[in-house]
Amino acid sequence: MPKWATPERQAVLVRLWAMYGNRCLYGHSTCPNPLHYLDFRPKVVAVPKPIVWPCQDRNGNSIRDRNGNQLYLTLYKTTKGVVYEIGFARLYDKVSSELIDHWKADDREARAHSRKLLSRTMHSLNERGSLRGTFNAISRTIYHDSQPQFYFEALGVSALTFRPFAKVRLSSSFVRLHVDLGDTLKGIGKNKRRKAIRYSKELPIPIQREVESLCAKAVRDYLG
């Protein structure tokens, strides 16, 4: 089982399968046209690019052939290009693969953040002796006791229910929860709501406290 396949994410894939199933890439449930399953996937490859130089001697004079025509030397420089690979895929395959890539990127970011936070905390402890990259028993207790239960990461809108949710990460864990906010954000204007979701702008204090309360309750239910 891959590391990204948490129970919550597996449940999301099950819901995606129930929604898309064997549909073609155009969304048809029973599609007899095999061309609707063709998937063109971009791939970055190395492409040789010719560079033509006029031939010259040591003194900078042009070198010509017996007929007086300029001779040229062709060199090849490697550049990046994009080609498209043709494959067959269903709509579920395409949507789920993009979602899995997003999850993997989130996990890499979480691991980097955890390592950075761990290193910063270790260097801030006023202890005698070198820790050599690890906590002793007292330091470990201080570190875990000083952490909040969760970290708020972002707001979003579910592609399945079209309802707003809050994305939170549990402390000392790579587990992320998507907390349904229900009608919490309906108390603010459409413009402020859009800025909060897209650009992580701060919510009004009462709404922010209500969101934090819902997230804390969801974390307690998950841990309890």
Q: What is the pLDDT of residues 36-78, one digit of tens each?
A: 999 888 888 888 889 998 998 888 888 998 888 999 999 888 8
Rounded CA-CA distance 77/84 in Å is 22
- Smallest Cα–Cα separation from 155: which of 111, 201, 121, 190? 201
Model pLDDT for residues 88-127, shown as the tens digit of each residue: 999 999 899 889 988 888 888 888 887 887 777 666 655 4
Tokens 């043709």 correspond to 86
* 152 within 8 A of 212, measured Cβ to Cβ: yes
Quickly tell me which residue has 């998937």 as its tokens.
Answer: 39
- In the chain, the number of structural domains is 2
φ, ψ for residue 190 (rounded to 5)? -65, -40
39 is written with which tokens?
A: 């998937």
63 located within any domain: no
| Within a domain: 29 | no
As a whole number of angstroms, the distance between CA 123 and CA 133 comes to 10
Structure tokens at 91: 């709509």
Query: 135 pLDDT exceeds 60?
Result: no
- Is 182 part of any domain? yes
| pLDDT range class, residue 136, cuts 50, 70, 90 | low
User: Are 84 and 153 in a shared domain?
Assistant: no
What integer pLDDT is reported at residue 4 of this predicted model? 79
Q: Per the domain annotation, does 219 fall within a domain?
A: yes
Instruction: Give the chain's end-to-end CA distance (angstroms, integer).
Output: 25
Residue 47 inside a domain? The answer is: yes
Q: Above pLDDT 70, what percent of the chain?
A: 88
Strand partners, 151: 169
Query: What Rg value do the Cα atoms of the chain yield, rounded?
Result: 28
Decide which of 215 and 149 is more confident: 215
Burial class of residue 183, CB neighbours in 10 A (0-12, 13-18, 19+): exposed
pLDDT in tens, 172-195: 777 889 998 888 888 788 888 888
Q: Quick one: pLDDT band at residue 138, thresholds 50, 70, 90?
A: low
Q: Are residues 82 and 152 in the same domain?
A: no
In a domain, 175, yes or no: yes
Asked if 62 and 54 touch (Cβ cutoff 8 Å), the reply is yes
Position 202 scores a pLDDT of: 81
Residue 175, pLDDT score: 85
Q: What is the mean pLDDT of residues 219-223?
A: 87
Of residues 161 and 22, more confidently modeled: 22
For 159, the domain range is 148-224
CA atoms of 144 and 98, how far apart (whole Å): 34
Please tell me the predicted confidence (pLDDT) of residue 72: 92
* Whether residue 152 sits in one domain with residue 220: yes
Give the pLDDT band of residue 129 (cuts 50, 70, 90): very low
Phi-psi category of residue 150: left, alpha or beta, with phi > 0 → left and psi -120 to 50 → alpha:
beta
| Amino acid identity at 90 | R
Residue 115 within any structural domain of the chain: no
Residue pair 208/193 in contact (Cβ under 8 Å)? The answer is no
Rounded CA-CA distance 98/44 in Å is 17
In a domain, 80, yes or no: yes
Which residues contact residue 140 at a Cβ distance below 8 angstroms, ignoring those fewer than 6 apart? Answer: none
